[in-house]
Structure 1
Amino acid sequence: MAAAPLYCVCRQPYDVSRFMIECDICKDWFHGSCVQVEEHQAVDIDVYHCPNCDVLQGPSLMKKRHNWHRHDYTEPDDGSKPVQAGTSVFIKELQNRTFASGEEIMRRMKGEQVTPRYLERHGFNYPIGVTEMEGLGLKLPPPTFSVKDVEQYVGGDKVIDVIDVARQADSKMKLSEFIKYFTTPHRPKVLNLISLEFSDTKMSELVEVPDVAQKMSWVENYWPDDSFFPKPFVQKYCLMGVKDSYTDFHIDFGGTSVWYHVLWGEKVFYLIKPTPANLALYEAWSSSPNQSEVFFGDKVEKCYKCIVPQGTTLLIPTGWIHAVLTSQDCMAFGGNFLHNLNIGMQLRCYEMERRLKTPDLFKFPYFEAICWYVAKNLLEMLKELREDNCPPSTYLVEGVKALISALRTWLKREVTEPTSEVPDHIRPNHLIKELTKEIRYLEEEPVSGSKPVKSQGSGCGVASGSNGCPATRSTLEKLCQARQARRAARRLREQQRQAPKVPSNLDILERHTREVLRRLEVGPLEEDEAFCAKVHGKLNKVSTASAAAAESLDDNHLRLMLSRHLLFLNALRCKQVLCSPCRERPTSPSTEEAIQGMLSMAGLLCSSKPEKVASPQKPWWSSPGQCSPLEQREAAQHQHRLQGDKSPMDSQGNSSEAWDNQGLPSPLNRSHGSSPETDYQYCDPSMSPPLHPSKRHAPNPPPISNQATKGKRPKKGMATAKQRLGKILKLNRHSRVFV
């Protein structure tokens, strides 16, 4: 493979990112930085001689000037061609023109008055001038800050785009070269720097944008941190222009609103209102071949002149057509921001840029992507307002309608122009459908004008009645808190849906119980030696007396103990379902203790505290007062079956003779001196701690029967427990089981 050709005195291959110039003698190419030729200087050279040819042929030949009113000053000056924008003749004529005063449209305000709340109430349709900066939230360097300080903070090697004003053409150069030009008393041409974005430099720490721009900005509020697209940086610009710098009429990219602050020097703005007629004229003028020869201010009904002196801040709304003249050397700071107040106008300006085939370099970065992010957030906002029964502001409804129309157009355009800016995690068709549905709700069910209207875009918002009077502070705080709570709950639900579900103690216990039931149905547990050894070991850890008592129980008693565990488990499940609106809500402390106790018994949870050993003098099952009435009733029913009790049963399987007039099992009402066989009630407090008094059952519950429930369906969980209990009791009574 052939090696890449080498160029210049540095003998390096061609680099598309670096400016190069061809020698007209030897036809070799040279980097401008290697031969000390700037890009803006190259257009003035007629015949270039490289350093090698310069020795033999002499210095390069420069172009001869024939006029001062044309971009190409080499054209013959016959006086028949019109003046072009930016030339020295044009600047003189502009300064002698008469315009309408900017005070006719300018709103003079104090910094503390310029807030999102004010703009939401009164609109942001006219320029705002601020001279008293207190309360605006704007932070800037002192007026002594110079262009050399900019070079120190940003770095002299940074490549910037500058405008050759006389030709209205862009060229690239290093910041250090521009600073050298700016500080030179003799300037052969007028250069203007308006595109130095410094958010990623040290100078960014010296500047904070106004609060109103920060709080309303789409990028600051809606751009996600995990976006695939790089975040647009358009909020902090440093503008350095020498005297007679001029920028012709334009609309800022994407219809963004602008804030300007003149640190020192002076700027003159020529402002034109963005009426439909003026916008149509502007688009026709921008696409015309003789655009530079026509002063657009002459084509509209009114063009306003606004002088911005040192220390003044100017805010220009969406879509305003404006030109800027630097009447004296000036340094200014500014920034652009999209917002909710003028969505329709922003989209219209963007579509105009597409029709005019504006290069991507001069368009808002990833404009369509930010619109998709905004659409997703506005959908959430509309849902919250509907839940609050607060109708959204008119500007927001109209903006969402315009946004829906634009999103549909972009999706159709993807078929022929596959340059998608749709974020990966957004379903575009579903999002458009949901937004359309919310607008339909507003149109089909209009809310009375007497109800409060909540504003959007600045924190918790503002509510006002039909007469525009603000609501009370307490009402606003409640609305704000409710809105924040809903957002937090929605985020929590999304996180829970995405995160893998961790089994709770109750889930572990249920799995263990089902496994034991499965083993009982298959056959005796003694066949599984490992399992039996584990169970015996865990029971021996509780107490010697407990282990001895467990060995003395017959199979029916042990099955009854297992059924009690399963019944208690279903009761816990029922408690969680019926008493808590959220299934993920943690159980109460007493319930959690019960679950952990059963897990400890099953060998699935080891307690860090030493367990108390039951007293051998008193059997651990001989305390009926610690058993719940439901457990006592089940034990009594089982005891009657063991004794061959033939008493008639009701429709639910309960013995009518087993209950006295008080609704308690008859064995519990006998004297304390009766035999242990008749007084036996199964209850194991060491395995299942007693419930908190507020969680216990009623002391004398009525019997469960069709008559008691009057044909109603029994509570959830009880029928399942009884079915399981009956199934266990039907097993072989002669097999020994240890649990």
Structure 2
Amino acid sequence: MAAAPLYCVCRQPYDVSRFMIECDICKDWFHGSCVQVEEHHAVDIDVYHCPNCDAVHGPSLMKKRNNWHRHDYTEPDDGSKPVQAGTSVFVKELQTRTFPSGEEILIRMKGEQVTTRYLERHGFNYPIVVTEMEGLGLKLPPPTFSVKDVEQYVGGDKVIDVIDVARQADSKMKLSEFIKYFTKPHRPKVLNLISLEFSDTKMSELVEVPDVAQKMSWVENYWPDDSFFPKPFVQKYCLMGVKDSYTDFHIDFGGTSVWYHVLWGEKIFYLIKPTPTNLALYEAWSSSPNQSEVFFGEKVEKCYKCVVPQGTTLLIPTGWIHAVLTSQDCMAFGGNFLHNLNIGMQLRCYEMERRLKTPDLFKFPYFEAICWYVAKNLLEMLKELREDNCPSPTYLVEGVKALISALKTWLKREVTEPTSEVPDNIRPNHLIKELTKEIRYLEEEPVSGSKPVKSQGCGMPSGTNGCPATRSTLERLCQARRARRAARRLREQQRQAPKLPSNLDILEQHTKEVLKRLEVGPLEEVSFKQVHGKLNKVSTASAAAAAESLEDNHLRLMLVNGRIISWTSLARNSGTNTNHSNGEKSTQRCIFSNVSDVCVSTEVISEHVLPVTCRERPTSPSTEEAIQGMLSMAGLLCTSKPEKVASPQEPWWSSPSQRSPQELAQHQRRLQVEKSPMDSQGNSSSEAWDNQGLPSPETDYQYCDPSLSPPLHPSKRHAPNPPPISNQATKGKRPKKGMATAKQRLGKILKLNRHNRVFV
């Protein structure tokens, strides 16, 4: 593979992130930082000579200025072309224009008066000016804070975007270069810095945004910490502009509201109210080819002039169209925030940006993603207000309606423009459906027979159609709301937690395990004579192997009235919970109540392990014997009469707790050589059943260890692919998938014994 071409005096490959300029003589490319040419200066060079060609052909040739009122100052000044925004001629004319005073629309307040509750009650529709900072919650450096201090806290190597005001064009440069420019007494150009976001720098510790912006911000309130999308940082900007810096009319990205504070210097704002007419005019003006030649302030009915001196804070609401002139060198701090008060306007501004094809660099980061997060939280808020029997504020209801419409539009747009910002943990269609239900409920069944009121929240004066405004009532409502939120979070955690198995699930799992081991247990081959002999004995080795294979069945069940009241899980002898010294198994027992399957207590117990033997099932059992055999095979039920005296003929399932170790050993040897109880004694497992096939009330039942269930004789083992089962579930047909399961067989057995007192 060919090596990448090298450029510049540094002989490095091309880097798209670094500005480069071409030499008009040698045609080689050079990094601006290597040849001391800044990006905003490159547009002034007519013919560039690199350092090598400069020694031979002389210095570079610069462009000749022909006018002071056009972005391209090389155009001839014939008086036929109008003045463009940002030029020196434009700035002088702007300062001589007359405008309506901003006092007509400005609301002057003290810092302590600007609260979230005030804005929710009265709305945030007009700019607010704060001159007394106490109570606003805004923390800033002292007025002596200089641009060099900014370089020290942020770092001189940070690459920033600056605006060449005379051309109204962006260019990149290092912060250290801008600071050097700012501190020069003579500035050949007017450069303006308005996009230095410093939340990720040391300077962030020196600034705290106003409380009202912090509490209302969507990003601060609704953006989750585990979001796939990176969190937008738009709350802390440092603006440094020299005299005559100008920013033309615009609406802040995403229709965000803005807070500005002038640390030193002065700024002049030209404000236009966002009426439907003005917004339509603004969109037409922004998309026109001669936008820079038309002063938008003259196209609207009123454009207000507002001077913001040093130490003053200005809050601009959603959608307000504004231009800014820096009348003297100035440093200001500001930030943007989305909120619930003007959701419809914010969405309208965002859609306008899309129609104007605004570059992503100048749009609110992940605007659609945060709208999904907000929709999810507003759904919970509406539910809480309804549960509190409080009327939902009008701004919230109207905002949710606008949000529902926008979310539907974005989902439809995904079909043709797959640029999804829908978070992974949100079901969009379900969320839209739930929000629509809440809005329909508010419109069809308003609280207390009244429609949503204009007063915001529940803090309304007494006597209105809402909640009383007394402090005690508000505190009680807040406590109740917090309790409901905690309960809702607990329910969500419980839904996400793994559920305990139900009775039938435990039965089915247990039976499947037993049947599987019985069908494929490692039983040894026996001779034809042993299979068809009169006694049908199973060899000692085969019995031992079967007993070993059945020890994997560790689940014990206890039932009352056909319902599991406890189940016990045994650990293997080789497990870590086994007591090897006494031949005991450590078990975990879980007791269930008769009402639910919730585990209420656990305990550790020990049980002796009994040796097991094998016996053959009757080849043609009666109905009673078939039922008893199935229960025995599942390890659920064995019948025994009250044990009186231990005898050689006592059943193999008799209680081991009443015998001595010598008797246990003797009993084991006897079981290995004697016939099975059913063959030698003529006893049948159906003795405890009455004529109707049901257990008599006088019969005593004791739990049978599933490991003691007699395995099937090799000649009676099921074939790998058994024929179709004919029962009530299948109606004689081949059972479909999921039919004739162990759950159905055991369910039928449990139904037969539902009225028994204790079924263990």
Please point out which of 607, 610, 617 is paired with 1:564: 607
TM-score, length of structure 2 as denominator length: 0.68
Q: 1:600 to 1:448 in 2, by over 3 A?
A: farther
The one-character-per-residue Cα deviations of 1:131-180 (angstroms, maximum 9, x if unpaired) are 11111111111111111111011100000000000110000000000000
* Post-superposition offset of 1:481: 1.5
* Post-superposition offset of 1:434: 1.2
* Post-superposition offset of 1:382: 1.1
- 3-state DSSP of counterpart to 1:520: helix
Q: 1:699 to 1:438 in 2, by over 3 A?
A: farther
Contact map agreement 1:542 1:612 (CA 8 A) in 2: no
The one-character-per-residue Cα deviations of 1:33-74 (angstroms, maximum 9, x if unpaired) are 010000000000010000110000011001111111111111
Q: 1:559 to 1:34 in 2, by over 3 A?
A: closer
Q: Distance in 1 between matches of 2:481 and 2:614?
A: 19
Q: Distance in 2 between matches of 1:308 and 1:146?
A: 19
Q: 1:721 to 1:82 in 2, by over 3 A?
A: closer
Contact map agreement 2:504 2:743 (CA 8 A) in 1: no
Contact map agreement 1:66 1:75 (CA 8 A) in 2: yes
Q: Which residue of 2 aligns with 1:342?
A: 342
Q: 1:729 to 1:496 in 2, by over 3 A?
A: closer
Q: 1:542 to 1:616 in 2, by over 3 A?
A: farther
TM-score, length of structure 1 as denominator length: 0.70
* Post-superposition offset of 1:496: 2.0
Q: Distance in 1 between matches of 2:545 and 2:123?
A: 85
- 3-state DSSP of counterpart to 1:269: strand
Q: 1:518 to 1:328 in 2, by over 3 A?
A: closer
Q: 1:541 to 1:154 in 2, by over 3 A?
A: farther
Q: 1:3 to 1:135 in 2, by over 3 A?
A: same
The one-character-per-residue Cα deviations of 1:176-214 (angstroms, maximum 9, x if unpaired) are 000000011110010000000001111111111111001
Q: 1:19 to 1:42 in 2, by over 3 A?
A: same
Q: 1:389 to 1:304 in 2, by over 3 A?
A: same
The one-character-per-residue Cα deviations of 1:688-712 (angstroms, maximum 9, x if unpaired) are 9999999999999999999999999
Q: Distance in 2 between matches of 1:697 and 1:618?
A: 30
Comparing 78-87 and 484-493, the one that deviates more? 484-493
Q: 1:449 to 1:175 in 2, by over 3 A?
A: farther
Q: CA RMSD in A?
A: 12.7
Q: 1:619 to 1:453 in 2, by over 3 A?
A: farther
Contact map agreement 1:267 1:327 (CA 8 A) in 2: yes
Contact map agreement 1:452 1:466 (CA 8 A) in 2: no
Q: Which residue of 2 aligns with 1:467?
A: 465
- 3-state DSSP of counterpart to 1:598: helix
- 3-state DSSP of counterpart to 1:429: helix
Q: 1:536 to 1:268 in 2, by over 3 A?
A: farther
Q: Distance in 2 between matches of 1:595 and 1:258?
A: 79
Contact map agreement 2:235 2:336 (CA 8 A) in 1: yes
Q: 1:541 to 1:199 in 2, by over 3 A?
A: farther
Please point out which of 708, 726, 736 is paired with 2:747: 726
The one-character-per-residue Cα deviations of 1:468-488 (angstroms, maximum 9, x if unpaired) are 896111211121112112221
* Post-superposition offset of 1:448: 3.3
The one-character-per-residue Cα deviations of 1:431-453 (angstroms, maximum 9, x if unpaired) are 11111111111111122367997
Aligned residues: 708
Q: 1:442 to 1:649 in 2, by over 3 A?
A: farther
Whichever structure has more helix as a proportion of its residues is: 1
Q: Distance in 1 between matches of 2:379 and 2:285?
A: 38
Q: 1:648 to 1:388 in 2, by over 3 A?
A: farther
Q: 1:167 to 1:514 in 2, by over 3 A?
A: closer
* Post-superposition offset of 1:499: 2.6
- Gaps of at least 5 residues in structure 1 are 528-533, 566-576, 667-675
Please point out which of 504, 507, 514 is paired with 2:505: 507
- 3-state DSSP of counterpart to 2:479: helix
Q: Distance in 2 between matches of 1:453 and 1:581?
A: 81
**Is structure 2 residue 533 aligned with structure 1 residue 537?**
yes
- 3-state DSSP of counterpart to 1:93: helix
Contact map agreement 2:640 2:654 (CA 8 A) in 1: no
Contact map agreement 1:449 1:466 (CA 8 A) in 2: no
Please point out which of 628, 634, 638 is paired with 2:667: 638
Q: 1:695 to 1:476 in 2, by over 3 A?
A: farther
Q: 1:707 to 1:167 in 2, by over 3 A?
A: closer
Q: 1:53 to 1:461 in 2, by over 3 A?
A: farther
Q: Which residue of 2 aligns with 1:29?
A: 29
- Gaps of at least 5 residues in structure 2 are 559-604
- 3-state DSSP of counterpart to 2:536: helix
Q: Which residue of 1 aligns with 2:711?
A: 690
Q: Distance in 2 between matches of 1:514 and 1:321?
A: 73
Contact map agreement 1:261 1:313 (CA 8 A) in 2: yes
Contact map agreement 1:86 1:167 (CA 8 A) in 2: yes
- Give runs of ≥4 in structure 1 deviating > 3 Å: 448-456, 459-465, 467-470, 501-527, 534-565, 577-629, 633-666, 676-739
Contact map agreement 1:67 1:74 (CA 8 A) in 2: yes
Q: Distance in 2 between matches of 1:585 and 1:178?
A: 96
* Post-superposition offset of 1:391: 2.0
Q: Distance in 2 between matches of 1:660 and 1:586?
A: 19
Q: 1:664 to 1:27 in 2, by over 3 A?
A: closer
Contact map agreement 1:139 1:206 (CA 8 A) in 2: yes
The alignment-based identity, stated in percent, is: 93
Q: 1:677 to 1:57 in 2, by over 3 A?
A: closer
The one-character-per-residue Cα deviations of 1:523-575 (angstroms, maximum 9, x if unpaired) are 99999xxxxxx99999999999999999999999999999999xxxxxxxxxx
Q: 1:582 to 1:26 in 2, by over 3 A?
A: farther
Comparing 164-173 and 679-688, the one that deviates more? 679-688
Contact map agreement 1:341 1:396 (CA 8 A) in 2: yes
Contact map agreement 1:663 1:701 (CA 8 A) in 2: no
- 3-state DSSP of counterpart to 2:535: helix
* Post-superposition offset of 1:294: 0.7
Q: 1:721 to 1:728 in 2, by over 3 A?
A: same
Q: Distance in 2 between matches of 1:179 and 1:613?
A: 105
Q: 1:637 to 1:368 in 2, by over 3 A?
A: farther
